[in-house]
Structure 1
Amino acid sequence: MIVVFDLDGTLIDSAPDIHATANAVLTAEGLGRFDLARVRSFIGHGVPHLVDSMLAAHGISDPVRAERMTAHVISRYEDAVLLTRPYPNVTATLDILREAGHRLAVCTNKPAAPARAVLRHLALDEYFELVLGGDSGLPRKPDPAPLIEVVRQMGGGPAVYVGDSEVDAETAEAAGLPLLLFTEGYRKASADSLPHDALFSDFADLPALIAAR
Protein backbone atom coordinates (compact mmCIF):
# COMPACT_ATOMS: atom_id res chain seq x y z
CA MET A 1 0.00 0.00 0.00
CA ILE A 2 1.20 3.51 -0.82
CA VAL A 3 0.51 5.79 2.15
CA VAL A 4 0.70 9.49 1.32
CA PHE A 5 0.75 12.01 4.17
CA ASP A 6 0.03 15.69 4.37
CA LEU A 7 2.68 17.43 6.50
CA ASP A 8 1.61 20.50 8.50
CA GLY A 9 -1.18 19.63 10.93
CA THR A 10 -0.92 15.94 10.07
CA LEU A 11 2.54 14.56 10.80
CA ILE A 12 3.82 17.69 12.54
CA ASP A 13 2.51 20.58 14.60
CA SER A 14 4.42 23.34 12.81
CA ALA A 15 2.03 26.20 13.60
CA PRO A 16 4.32 27.71 16.30
CA ASP A 17 7.20 28.03 13.80
CA ILE A 18 4.93 29.32 11.03
CA HIS A 19 3.47 31.81 13.53
CA ALA A 20 6.94 33.08 14.49
CA THR A 21 7.99 33.36 10.85
CA ALA A 22 4.79 35.14 9.84
CA ASN A 23 5.11 37.67 12.65
CA ALA A 24 8.77 38.35 11.85
CA VAL A 25 7.79 39.15 8.26
CA LEU A 26 4.87 41.32 9.40
CA THR A 27 7.16 43.24 11.74
CA ALA A 28 9.64 43.84 8.92
CA GLU A 29 6.75 45.25 6.88
CA GLY A 30 5.63 47.52 9.72
CA LEU A 31 2.37 45.60 10.13
CA GLY A 32 0.67 44.33 13.27
CA ARG A 33 1.30 40.80 14.47
CA PHE A 34 -1.27 38.01 14.79
CA ASP A 35 -1.82 35.49 17.56
CA LEU A 36 -1.19 31.78 17.03
CA ALA A 37 -4.83 30.87 16.43
CA ARG A 38 -5.18 33.48 13.68
CA VAL A 39 -2.04 32.34 11.86
CA ARG A 40 -3.08 28.69 12.24
CA SER A 41 -6.31 29.55 10.41
CA PHE A 42 -4.24 30.73 7.42
CA ILE A 43 -2.26 27.47 7.11
CA GLY A 44 -2.91 24.79 4.51
CA HIS A 45 -2.96 26.39 1.08
CA GLY A 46 0.72 27.29 0.74
CA VAL A 47 2.86 30.37 1.39
CA PRO A 48 1.16 32.73 -1.10
CA HIS A 49 -2.20 32.07 0.55
CA LEU A 50 -0.68 32.60 4.00
CA VAL A 51 0.68 35.98 2.92
CA ASP A 52 -2.51 36.99 1.11
CA SER A 53 -4.52 36.09 4.20
CA MET A 54 -2.29 38.17 6.46
CA LEU A 55 -2.52 41.17 4.15
CA ALA A 56 -6.28 40.78 3.74
CA ALA A 57 -6.64 40.74 7.52
CA HIS A 58 -4.90 44.12 7.51
CA GLY A 59 -7.18 45.37 4.74
CA ILE A 60 -4.38 45.40 2.18
CA SER A 61 -4.50 44.23 -1.43
CA ASP A 62 -1.06 44.76 -2.98
CA PRO A 63 0.32 42.06 -5.31
CA VAL A 64 3.82 43.54 -5.35
CA ARG A 65 3.97 43.63 -1.56
CA ALA A 66 2.51 40.13 -1.38
CA GLU A 67 5.21 38.81 -3.71
CA ARG A 68 7.94 40.44 -1.62
CA MET A 69 6.52 39.07 1.61
CA THR A 70 6.13 35.59 0.12
CA ALA A 71 9.80 35.59 -0.83
CA HIS A 72 10.67 36.77 2.70
CA VAL A 73 8.66 33.97 4.32
CA ILE A 74 10.27 31.36 2.06
CA SER A 75 13.76 32.71 2.83
CA ARG A 76 13.12 32.08 6.54
CA TYR A 77 11.27 28.81 6.17
CA GLU A 78 14.15 26.34 6.05
CA ASP A 79 15.34 27.50 9.47
CA ALA A 80 11.83 27.54 10.97
CA VAL A 81 12.09 24.16 12.68
CA LEU A 82 12.93 24.74 16.34
CA LEU A 83 9.35 24.98 17.64
CA THR A 84 7.91 22.19 15.46
CA ARG A 85 7.14 18.77 16.92
CA PRO A 86 5.75 15.52 15.50
CA TYR A 87 2.34 14.63 16.85
CA PRO A 88 2.38 11.91 19.52
CA ASN A 89 3.13 8.38 18.25
CA VAL A 90 4.04 9.54 14.72
CA THR A 91 7.55 8.06 14.74
CA ALA A 92 6.46 4.72 16.20
CA THR A 93 3.63 4.53 13.67
CA LEU A 94 5.95 5.23 10.74
CA ASP A 95 8.19 2.41 11.98
CA ILE A 96 5.22 0.03 12.09
CA LEU A 97 4.01 1.02 8.62
CA ARG A 98 7.45 0.67 7.06
CA GLU A 99 8.03 -2.70 8.72
CA ALA A 100 4.65 -3.87 7.37
CA GLY A 101 5.90 -3.14 3.85
CA HIS A 102 3.93 0.03 3.16
CA ARG A 103 5.63 2.68 1.02
CA LEU A 104 5.45 6.20 2.43
CA ALA A 105 5.41 9.64 0.82
CA VAL A 106 4.55 13.26 1.66
CA CYS A 107 2.36 15.56 -0.42
CA THR A 108 2.34 19.09 1.00
CA ASN A 109 1.62 22.65 -0.05
CA LYS A 110 4.73 23.72 1.88
CA PRO A 111 7.70 24.36 -0.44
CA ALA A 112 9.80 21.22 -0.84
CA ALA A 113 13.06 22.51 0.67
CA PRO A 114 11.50 23.66 3.98
CA ALA A 115 9.44 20.45 4.09
CA ARG A 116 12.58 18.34 3.75
CA ALA A 117 14.43 20.56 6.26
CA VAL A 118 11.85 20.06 8.99
CA LEU A 119 11.63 16.33 8.30
CA ARG A 120 15.43 16.10 8.60
CA HIS A 121 15.40 18.12 11.82
CA LEU A 122 12.84 15.75 13.33
CA ALA A 123 14.64 12.65 11.97
CA LEU A 124 11.56 11.71 9.94
CA ASP A 125 13.07 12.11 6.46
CA GLU A 126 14.33 8.53 6.29
CA TYR A 127 10.78 7.17 6.23
CA PHE A 128 9.67 8.82 2.99
CA GLU A 129 10.59 7.77 -0.52
CA LEU A 130 9.17 10.98 -1.97
CA VAL A 131 8.37 14.50 -0.73
CA LEU A 132 6.38 16.61 -3.20
CA GLY A 133 6.08 20.26 -2.24
CA GLY A 134 3.82 23.12 -3.22
CA ASP A 135 6.50 24.55 -5.50
CA SER A 136 6.59 21.47 -7.75
CA GLY A 137 5.06 23.37 -10.67
CA LEU A 138 1.75 21.56 -10.29
CA PRO A 139 -1.35 23.30 -8.92
CA ARG A 140 -1.45 23.25 -5.14
CA LYS A 141 -3.90 21.14 -3.18
CA PRO A 142 -6.93 20.96 -3.11
CA ASP A 143 -6.28 20.40 -6.81
CA PRO A 144 -5.74 16.62 -6.99
CA ALA A 145 -2.79 16.86 -9.39
CA PRO A 146 0.02 16.71 -6.80
CA LEU A 147 -1.52 13.76 -4.96
CA ILE A 148 -2.08 11.90 -8.23
CA GLU A 149 1.52 12.68 -9.22
CA VAL A 150 2.89 11.30 -5.96
CA VAL A 151 1.08 8.00 -6.49
CA ARG A 152 2.29 7.91 -10.10
CA GLN A 153 5.91 8.52 -9.11
CA MET A 154 5.62 5.81 -6.45
CA GLY A 155 4.70 3.35 -9.20
CA GLY A 156 0.92 3.32 -8.83
CA GLY A 157 -1.25 0.73 -7.14
CA PRO A 158 -3.43 0.81 -4.01
CA ALA A 159 -2.99 4.06 -2.11
CA VAL A 160 -4.48 5.98 0.80
CA TYR A 161 -4.13 9.62 1.83
CA VAL A 162 -3.68 10.79 5.42
CA GLY A 163 -4.55 14.43 6.14
CA ASP A 164 -6.11 16.77 8.64
CA SER A 165 -8.06 19.51 6.90
CA GLU A 166 -10.71 20.67 4.48
CA VAL A 167 -7.98 20.99 1.87
CA ASP A 168 -6.98 17.36 2.35
CA ALA A 169 -10.56 16.12 2.24
CA GLU A 170 -11.22 17.94 -1.02
CA THR A 171 -7.91 16.74 -2.49
CA ALA A 172 -8.50 13.08 -1.65
CA GLU A 173 -12.06 13.16 -2.95
CA ALA A 174 -10.99 14.74 -6.24
CA ALA A 175 -8.13 12.25 -6.61
CA GLY A 176 -10.42 9.30 -5.88
CA LEU A 177 -8.37 8.13 -2.90
CA PRO A 178 -9.55 7.08 0.56
CA LEU A 179 -8.90 9.71 3.23
CA LEU A 180 -7.92 8.84 6.78
CA LEU A 181 -8.60 12.10 8.60
CA PHE A 182 -6.47 13.07 11.61
CA THR A 183 -8.73 15.05 13.90
CA GLU A 184 -6.11 16.94 15.95
CA GLY A 185 -4.67 19.15 13.21
CA TYR A 186 -5.67 22.46 11.62
CA ARG A 187 -9.18 21.63 10.46
CA LYS A 188 -11.77 24.42 10.86
CA ALA A 189 -15.02 22.56 10.13
CA SER A 190 -16.26 19.60 12.15
CA ALA A 191 -14.60 16.31 11.19
CA ASP A 192 -17.94 14.67 10.49
CA SER A 193 -18.79 17.35 7.93
CA LEU A 194 -15.81 16.42 5.73
CA PRO A 195 -15.71 13.46 3.34
CA HIS A 196 -13.51 10.74 4.83
CA ASP A 197 -13.12 6.99 5.09
CA ALA A 198 -12.02 6.95 8.72
CA LEU A 199 -11.25 9.35 11.56
CA PHE A 200 -8.44 8.99 14.07
CA SER A 201 -7.12 11.17 16.89
CA ASP A 202 -4.08 9.08 17.83
CA PHE A 203 -1.45 7.93 15.35
CA ALA A 204 -1.21 4.65 17.25
CA ASP A 205 -4.57 3.77 15.66
CA LEU A 206 -3.44 4.42 12.08
CA PRO A 207 -1.72 1.08 11.25
CA ALA A 208 -4.92 -0.87 11.97
CA LEU A 209 -6.96 1.51 9.82
CA ILE A 210 -4.54 1.04 6.92
CA ALA A 211 -4.39 -2.73 7.41
CA ALA A 212 -8.18 -2.81 7.10
CA ARG A 213 -8.13 -1.18 3.65
Structure 2
Amino acid sequence: MDRIDFDVVAFDLDGTLADTAPDLAASLNHALGSVGRRGVPPESVRNLVGHGAKALLRRGLAVTGEASEGLVEEAYPAFMDYYGANICAGTRIFPGVEQALDDLVARGVTVAICTNKPESLTHLLIEALGWTGRFAAIVGGDTLAVRKPDPTPLFETIMRAGGGKAAFVGDSIIDADTAKAAQLPFVAVSFGFSDRPVAQLGAHAVIDHYAELAGALARL
Protein backbone atom coordinates (compact mmCIF):
# COMPACT_ATOMS: atom_id res chain seq x y z
CA MET A 1 0.00 0.00 0.00
CA ASP A 2 1.43 3.36 -1.06
CA ARG A 3 2.09 5.87 1.70
CA ILE A 4 -0.07 9.00 1.54
CA ASP A 5 1.72 11.87 3.20
CA PHE A 6 -1.32 14.03 3.91
CA ASP A 7 -3.20 14.56 7.16
CA VAL A 8 -6.28 16.07 5.48
CA VAL A 9 -7.73 15.72 2.00
CA ALA A 10 -10.51 18.22 1.28
CA PHE A 11 -13.00 17.74 -1.54
CA ASP A 12 -15.25 19.99 -3.55
CA LEU A 13 -18.78 18.56 -3.75
CA ASP A 14 -20.69 19.37 -6.97
CA GLY A 15 -19.00 17.72 -9.92
CA THR A 16 -16.30 16.23 -7.71
CA LEU A 17 -17.92 13.82 -5.26
CA ALA A 18 -21.38 13.77 -6.83
CA ASP A 19 -23.03 14.47 -10.16
CA THR A 20 -25.57 17.03 -8.97
CA ALA A 21 -26.20 18.47 -12.45
CA PRO A 22 -29.64 16.86 -12.98
CA ASP A 23 -31.09 18.43 -9.84
CA LEU A 24 -29.33 21.77 -10.33
CA ALA A 25 -30.63 21.91 -13.91
CA ALA A 26 -34.19 21.14 -12.83
CA SER A 27 -33.99 23.79 -10.12
CA LEU A 28 -32.50 26.37 -12.45
CA ASN A 29 -35.19 25.79 -15.07
CA HIS A 30 -37.90 25.97 -12.41
CA ALA A 31 -36.49 29.31 -11.24
CA LEU A 32 -36.17 30.62 -14.79
CA GLY A 33 -39.79 29.68 -15.41
CA SER A 34 -40.84 31.56 -12.28
CA VAL A 35 -39.65 34.81 -13.91
CA GLY A 36 -41.06 34.00 -17.33
CA ARG A 37 -37.90 32.65 -18.93
CA ARG A 38 -37.42 29.54 -21.03
CA GLY A 39 -35.32 26.75 -19.60
CA VAL A 40 -31.80 25.85 -20.63
CA PRO A 41 -30.65 22.40 -21.82
CA PRO A 42 -29.87 20.33 -18.71
CA GLU A 43 -26.47 19.28 -20.05
CA SER A 44 -25.39 22.93 -20.37
CA VAL A 45 -25.69 23.40 -16.61
CA ARG A 46 -22.51 21.35 -16.10
CA ASN A 47 -20.53 24.28 -17.47
CA LEU A 48 -22.36 26.88 -15.36
CA VAL A 49 -21.82 25.41 -11.87
CA GLY A 50 -19.10 26.43 -9.43
CA HIS A 51 -19.67 29.93 -8.08
CA GLY A 52 -22.82 29.22 -6.06
CA ALA A 53 -26.58 29.37 -6.63
CA LYS A 54 -26.86 33.08 -7.46
CA ALA A 55 -24.04 32.86 -9.97
CA LEU A 56 -25.75 29.86 -11.55
CA LEU A 57 -28.96 31.87 -11.80
CA ARG A 58 -27.09 34.86 -13.19
CA ARG A 59 -25.52 32.74 -15.90
CA GLY A 60 -28.80 30.96 -16.65
CA LEU A 61 -30.56 34.30 -17.02
CA ALA A 62 -27.78 35.57 -19.28
CA VAL A 63 -28.25 32.59 -21.58
CA THR A 64 -31.95 33.41 -21.93
CA GLY A 65 -31.90 37.23 -21.97
CA GLU A 66 -31.33 40.04 -19.47
CA ALA A 67 -29.52 39.06 -16.28
CA SER A 68 -30.15 41.97 -13.91
CA GLU A 69 -29.50 41.58 -10.20
CA GLY A 70 -33.18 42.28 -9.63
CA LEU A 71 -34.10 39.20 -11.65
CA VAL A 72 -31.48 37.13 -9.83
CA GLU A 73 -32.97 38.12 -6.47
CA GLU A 74 -36.50 37.48 -7.75
CA ALA A 75 -35.67 34.00 -9.01
CA TYR A 76 -33.44 32.98 -6.09
CA PRO A 77 -36.19 31.90 -3.64
CA ALA A 78 -37.81 29.72 -6.30
CA PHE A 79 -34.47 28.06 -7.00
CA MET A 80 -33.69 27.45 -3.33
CA ASP A 81 -37.15 26.14 -2.46
CA TYR A 82 -37.25 23.76 -5.41
CA TYR A 83 -33.70 22.53 -4.94
CA GLY A 84 -34.17 21.99 -1.23
CA ALA A 85 -37.25 19.86 -1.92
CA ASN A 86 -35.59 17.89 -4.75
CA ILE A 87 -31.94 17.91 -3.76
CA CYS A 88 -31.25 14.25 -4.43
CA ALA A 89 -33.87 13.29 -7.02
CA GLY A 90 -31.37 12.81 -9.83
CA THR A 91 -28.03 13.28 -8.07
CA ARG A 92 -25.65 10.31 -8.09
CA ILE A 93 -22.24 9.86 -6.53
CA PHE A 94 -19.40 9.23 -8.94
CA PRO A 95 -18.18 5.64 -9.31
CA GLY A 96 -15.63 4.62 -6.71
CA VAL A 97 -16.12 7.61 -4.42
CA GLU A 98 -17.08 5.74 -1.26
CA GLN A 99 -14.34 3.15 -1.65
CA ALA A 100 -11.79 5.93 -2.19
CA LEU A 101 -12.97 7.80 0.90
CA ASP A 102 -12.89 4.62 2.98
CA ASP A 103 -9.39 3.90 1.69
CA LEU A 104 -8.13 7.31 2.73
CA VAL A 105 -9.62 7.03 6.20
CA ALA A 106 -8.12 3.55 6.57
CA ARG A 107 -4.72 5.11 5.86
CA GLY A 108 -5.23 7.67 8.61
CA VAL A 109 -6.23 10.56 6.34
CA THR A 110 -9.03 12.88 7.47
CA VAL A 111 -11.55 13.79 4.76
CA ALA A 112 -13.52 17.04 4.54
CA ILE A 113 -15.67 19.10 2.17
CA CYS A 114 -15.09 22.66 0.95
CA THR A 115 -17.86 23.74 -1.42
CA ASN A 116 -19.56 26.88 -2.70
CA LYS A 117 -22.97 25.25 -2.17
CA PRO A 118 -24.81 26.92 0.75
CA GLU A 119 -23.99 25.11 3.97
CA SER A 120 -27.61 24.19 4.76
CA LEU A 121 -28.07 22.59 1.34
CA THR A 122 -24.71 20.85 1.63
CA HIS A 123 -25.76 19.18 4.86
CA LEU A 124 -29.13 18.30 3.33
CA LEU A 125 -27.45 16.61 0.37
CA ILE A 126 -24.87 14.84 2.54
CA GLU A 127 -27.72 13.41 4.62
CA ALA A 128 -29.67 12.37 1.52
CA LEU A 129 -26.60 10.55 0.18
CA GLY A 130 -26.23 8.65 3.44
CA TRP A 131 -22.96 10.39 4.26
CA THR A 132 -23.83 11.90 7.65
CA GLY A 133 -20.74 11.72 9.85
CA ARG A 134 -18.44 10.67 7.02
CA PHE A 135 -16.62 14.02 6.78
CA ALA A 136 -14.70 15.61 9.63
CA ALA A 137 -15.53 19.13 8.45
CA ILE A 138 -17.95 20.75 6.00
CA VAL A 139 -17.54 24.37 4.91
CA GLY A 140 -20.12 25.81 2.52
CA GLY A 141 -20.29 28.87 0.35
CA ASP A 142 -21.99 30.93 3.05
CA THR A 143 -20.18 29.52 6.09
CA LEU A 144 -17.74 32.42 6.00
CA ALA A 145 -17.89 35.95 4.61
CA VAL A 146 -15.91 34.82 1.55
CA ARG A 147 -16.12 31.81 -0.76
CA LYS A 148 -13.83 29.98 -3.16
CA PRO A 149 -11.61 30.90 -4.99
CA ASP A 150 -10.63 32.88 -1.90
CA PRO A 151 -8.46 30.36 -0.01
CA THR A 152 -9.95 31.21 3.39
CA PRO A 153 -12.75 28.59 3.23
CA LEU A 154 -10.20 25.91 2.33
CA PHE A 155 -7.95 26.95 5.21
CA GLU A 156 -10.99 26.88 7.52
CA THR A 157 -11.95 23.41 6.27
CA ILE A 158 -8.48 22.06 6.97
CA MET A 159 -8.39 23.66 10.41
CA ARG A 160 -11.80 22.23 11.35
CA ALA A 161 -10.62 18.82 10.15
CA GLY A 162 -7.69 18.90 12.54
CA GLY A 163 -5.04 20.69 10.52
CA GLY A 164 -1.77 19.42 9.15
CA LYS A 165 -0.49 18.73 5.67
CA ALA A 166 -3.36 18.93 3.19
CA ALA A 167 -4.40 18.48 -0.43
CA PHE A 168 -7.52 19.55 -2.32
CA VAL A 169 -9.57 17.58 -4.85
CA GLY A 170 -11.90 19.40 -7.25
CA ASP A 171 -13.18 19.71 -10.79
CA SER A 172 -13.16 23.35 -11.86
CA ILE A 173 -11.04 26.44 -12.32
CA ILE A 174 -12.59 27.74 -9.10
CA ASP A 175 -11.11 24.79 -7.22
CA ALA A 176 -7.80 25.07 -9.06
CA ASP A 177 -7.51 28.76 -8.24
CA THR A 178 -8.44 28.08 -4.60
CA ALA A 179 -5.71 25.46 -4.22
CA LYS A 180 -3.20 27.73 -5.97
CA ALA A 181 -4.04 30.64 -3.67
CA ALA A 182 -3.68 28.34 -0.67
CA GLN A 183 -0.41 26.93 -2.09
CA LEU A 184 -1.72 23.37 -1.70
CA PRO A 185 -1.46 20.37 -4.04
CA PHE A 186 -4.50 20.06 -6.29
CA VAL A 187 -5.94 16.88 -7.79
CA ALA A 188 -8.49 17.42 -10.57
CA VAL A 189 -11.16 14.94 -11.60
CA SER A 190 -11.68 14.73 -15.36
CA PHE A 191 -15.41 13.95 -15.15
CA GLY A 192 -16.73 17.03 -13.35
CA PHE A 193 -18.32 20.36 -14.29
CA SER A 194 -15.28 22.21 -15.66
CA ASP A 195 -15.90 24.96 -18.22
CA ARG A 196 -12.55 24.15 -19.87
CA PRO A 197 -10.44 21.05 -20.61
CA VAL A 198 -9.09 19.55 -17.39
CA ALA A 199 -5.54 19.86 -18.76
CA GLN A 200 -5.93 23.65 -18.53
CA LEU A 201 -6.60 23.65 -14.78
CA GLY A 202 -2.94 23.40 -13.83
CA ALA A 203 -3.54 20.46 -11.48
CA HIS A 204 -0.69 18.55 -9.90
CA ALA A 205 -2.52 15.35 -10.86
CA VAL A 206 -5.62 14.40 -12.86
CA ILE A 207 -7.73 11.30 -12.21
CA ASP A 208 -10.28 9.69 -14.52
CA HIS A 209 -11.75 7.44 -11.80
CA TYR A 210 -11.66 7.45 -8.03
CA ALA A 211 -9.73 4.18 -8.07
CA GLU A 212 -6.76 6.36 -9.10
CA LEU A 213 -6.99 8.83 -6.22
CA ALA A 214 -4.85 7.10 -3.61
CA GLY A 215 -2.06 6.53 -6.10
CA ALA A 216 -2.21 10.13 -7.28
CA LEU A 217 -2.01 11.45 -3.71
CA ALA A 218 0.84 9.09 -2.87
CA ARG A 219 2.88 10.49 -5.75
CA LEU A 220 2.40 14.14 -4.74
Which residue in the other structure is 2:206 paired with?
199
Q: How far apart in 1 are the matches of 2:40 and 2:8?
A: 38
Q: How far apart in 2 are the matches of 1:42 and 1:125?
A: 27
* Structure 1 residues without counterparts, runs of 5 or longer: none
1:160 is paired with a residue whose SS is: strand
1:3 is paired with a residue whose SS is: strand
Once the two structures are TM-superposed, the CA of residue 37 in structure 1 deviates from its matched residue by 2.4
Matched, 1:189 2:192: no
Once the two structures are TM-superposed, the CA of residue 102 in structure 1 deviates from its matched residue by 0.7
Matched, 1:56 2:54: no
Once the two structures are TM-superposed, the CA of residue 84 in structure 1 deviates from its matched residue by 0.2
Which of 108, 111, 120 is 2:127 aligned to? Answer: 120
The one-letter code matched in structure 2 to 1:44 is: G
Once the two structures are TM-superposed, the CA of residue 15 in structure 1 deviates from its matched residue by 0.1
Matched, 1:40 2:46: yes
Matched, 1:28 2:34: yes
Asked if the contact 2:25–2:45 (Cα under 8 Å) also holds between the matched residues in 1, the reply is yes
Q: Which runs of 4+ in 1 moved over 6 A?
A: none
Once the two structures are TM-superposed, the CA of residue 76 in structure 1 deviates from its matched residue by 2.4
Which of 172, 175, 178 is 2:182 aligned to? Answer: 175
Asked if the contact 1:23–1:34 (Cα under 8 Å) also holds between the matched residues in 2, the reply is yes
Which residue in the other structure is 2:108 paired with?
101
1:126 is paired with a residue whose SS is: coil
1:104 is paired with a residue whose SS is: strand
Asked if the contact 2:187–2:206 (Cα under 8 Å) also holds between the matched residues in 1, the reply is yes
Asked if the contact 2:48–2:195 (Cα under 8 Å) also holds between the matched residues in 1, the reply is no
Which residue in the other structure is 2:142 paired with?
135
2:188 is paired with a residue whose SS is: strand
The one-letter code matched in structure 2 to 1:177 is: L
- TM-score by length of structure 1 reads 0.95
Asked if the contact 1:98–1:127 (Cα under 8 Å) also holds between the matched residues in 2, the reply is no
Q: How far apart in 1 are the matches of 2:78 and 2:97?
A: 30
Asked if the contact 1:164–1:183 (Cα under 8 Å) also holds between the matched residues in 2, the reply is yes
Matched, 1:157 2:164: yes
1:117 is paired with a residue whose SS is: helix
Once the two structures are superposed, what CA deviation does each residue of 1:88-133 show, in whole Å capped at 9, x if it has no partner?
Answer: 0101111111111111110000011111111111112331011111
Q: How far apart in 2 are the matches of 1:195 and 1:46?
A: 22
1:88 is paired with a residue whose SS is: coil
* Structure 2 residues without counterparts, runs of 5 or longer: 1-6
1:43 is paired with a residue whose SS is: coil
Once the two structures are TM-superposed, the CA of residue 2 in structure 1 deviates from its matched residue by 0.3
Matched, 1:110 2:122: no
Aligned residue-pair number: 213
1:181 is paired with a residue whose SS is: strand
Which residue in the other structure is 1:12 paired with?
18
Which residue in the other structure is 2:4 paired with?
none
Asked if the contact 1:91–1:124 (Cα under 8 Å) also holds between the matched residues in 2, the reply is no
Asked if the contact 2:30–2:78 (Cα under 8 Å) also holds between the matched residues in 1, the reply is no
**Percent sequence identity over matched residues?**
36
Once the two structures are superposed, what CA deviation does each residue of 1:58-112 show, in whole Å capped at 9, x if it has no partner?
Answer: 2213222211212221222223211000000101111111111111110000011
Asked if the contact 1:78–1:113 (Cα under 8 Å) also holds between the matched residues in 2, the reply is no
- TM-score by length of structure 2 reads 0.92
